[in-house]
C-alpha cells in the first residue's frame, strides 16, 4: 500500500473537519496516511521524505496568497517545497502554494467560485487518466493561479478559472484548483483523480 503524507495548510482549527475529510478520502482511494501541519513539515529533511512516504498531498487553505499577512505565514513553507523530491499533489490552496513555490503567481478572481462546476481536461495524462473530456468537480475558491511556473503546463481549465490543473513537465508535481476529495456518487471524477495519484504516481513506501 502507498504511504502518503497529507499536509494540513488550514490556519484555523475550525477547518479541522475539512482536513479530516481529505484524509478520509485519501484513505478510501487506497493509501495509508500520515498527517502533519505545514509548520512542522519544514522541520523535516525534504530529501529524506522518500524513505518513509511515497508522496505528499497538500490540503487547501482558507489563507489568501494575495494577502500579505497570509502569504507571510507560508513563506518558509513555500521555500521548502521545491526541495521535496517525491511526488506532490496540491489541492486548492495547496495547488496555489505549489505554483508560487516554483515561481508562478496567484491573483484574485472577482467573485467566489463555489459548487460543482464543469472542468475541461486538456491533457489526460496519468493524473487525469480514464476520465472524459469534461468532468464535474467541487469548487470553492476566491483566487487562482494566474501564471504557471516555468516547466509546468496546464492540463485542465474552466470558464471561470484558466489554470484548473497543472503538472511539471518532467517531475511528478501536480496541482488542481478544484477539490477531488469532495466527490459524490453523482460526480465521481474526484475519486478517480485521487486513485490515479496514489496508484499511478506515488512511489512505493519504504516502510
What is residue 2's predicted lDDT score, i.e. its pLDDT? 87
pLDDT at 10 over 60: yes
**How far is residue 199's CA from residue 207's CA, in Å, rounded to a whole number?**
17
Mean pLDDT score, 51-76: 96
Computed over every residue of the chain, the mean pLDDT equals 95
* Residue % of the chain over a pLDDT of 70: 98
CA distance between the termini of the chain: 10
Residues 6+ apart with CB under 8 A from 169: 151, 152, 153
Residues 6+ apart with CB under 8 A from 43: none
Mean pLDDT score, 93-118: 96
CATH class assigned to 2-201:
alpha beta
**How far is residue 93's CA from residue 9's CA, in Å, rounded to a whole number?**
8
Residue 6 cell numbers, joined: 497529507
What is residue 204's predicted lDDT score, i.e. its pLDDT? 59
**How far is residue 178's CA from residue 190's CA, in Å, rounded to a whole number?**
9
65, 69, 96: which is closest to 81 by C-alpha? 96
121-139 tens-digit pLDDT: 998 889 999 999 999 999 9
What is residue 205's predicted lDDT score, i.e. its pLDDT? 47
The pairing of strands 31-37 and 134-147 is: unpaired
Mean pLDDT score, 189-196: 98
174-184 tens-digit pLDDT: 999 999 999 99
> In the chain, what are the domain boundaries?
2-201
For residue 39, name the pLDDT band (cuts at 50, 70, 90): very high
What is residue 76's predicted lDDT score, i.e. its pLDDT? 98
What is residue 207's predicted lDDT score, i.e. its pLDDT? 40
Question: How would you label 44-79 residue by residue, b for 16+ Cβ within 10 Å and e otherwise?
Answer: eebeebbeebbbbbbbbbbbbbeeeeebeebeebbe
Residue 90 cell numbers, joined: 496540491
Amino acid at each position: 500500500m502507498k504511504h502518503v503524507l497529507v499536509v494540513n495548510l488550514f490556519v484555523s482549527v475550525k477547518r479541522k473537519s475539512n482536513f479530516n475529510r481529505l484524509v478520509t478520502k485519501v484513505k478510501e482511494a487506497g493509501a495509508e496516511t500520515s498527517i502533519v501541519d505545514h509548520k512542522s513539515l519544514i522541520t523535516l529533511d525534504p530529501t529524506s521524505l522518500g524513505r518513509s512516504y511515497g508522496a505528499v498531498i497538500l490540503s487547501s487553505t482558507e489563507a489568501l496568497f494575495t494577502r500579505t499577512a497570509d502569504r507571510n505565514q507560508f513563506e518558509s513553507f513555500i521555500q521548502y517545497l521545491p526541495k521535496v523530491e517525491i511526488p506532490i499533489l496540491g489541492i486548492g490552496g495547496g495547488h496555489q502554494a505549489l505554483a508560487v513555490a516554483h515561481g508562478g503567481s496567484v491573483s484574485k478572481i472577482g467573485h467566489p467560485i463555489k459548487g460543482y462546476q464543469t472542468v475541461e481536461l486538456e491533457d489526460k495524462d496519468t493524473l487525469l487518466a480514464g476520465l472524459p473530456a469534461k468532468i464535474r468537480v467541487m469548487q470553492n475558491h476566491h483566487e487562482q493561479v494566474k501564471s504557471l511556473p516555468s516547466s509546468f503546463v496546464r492540463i485542465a481549465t474552466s470558464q471561470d478559472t484558466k489554470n484548473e490543473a497543472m503538472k511539471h513537465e518532467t517531475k511528478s508535481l501536480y496541482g488542481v484548483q478544484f477539490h477531488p476529495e469532495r466527490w459524490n456518487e453523482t460526480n465521481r471524477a474526484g475519486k478517480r483523480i485521487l486513485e490515479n495519484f496514489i496508484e499511478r504516481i506515488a512511489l512505493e513506501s519504504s516502510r
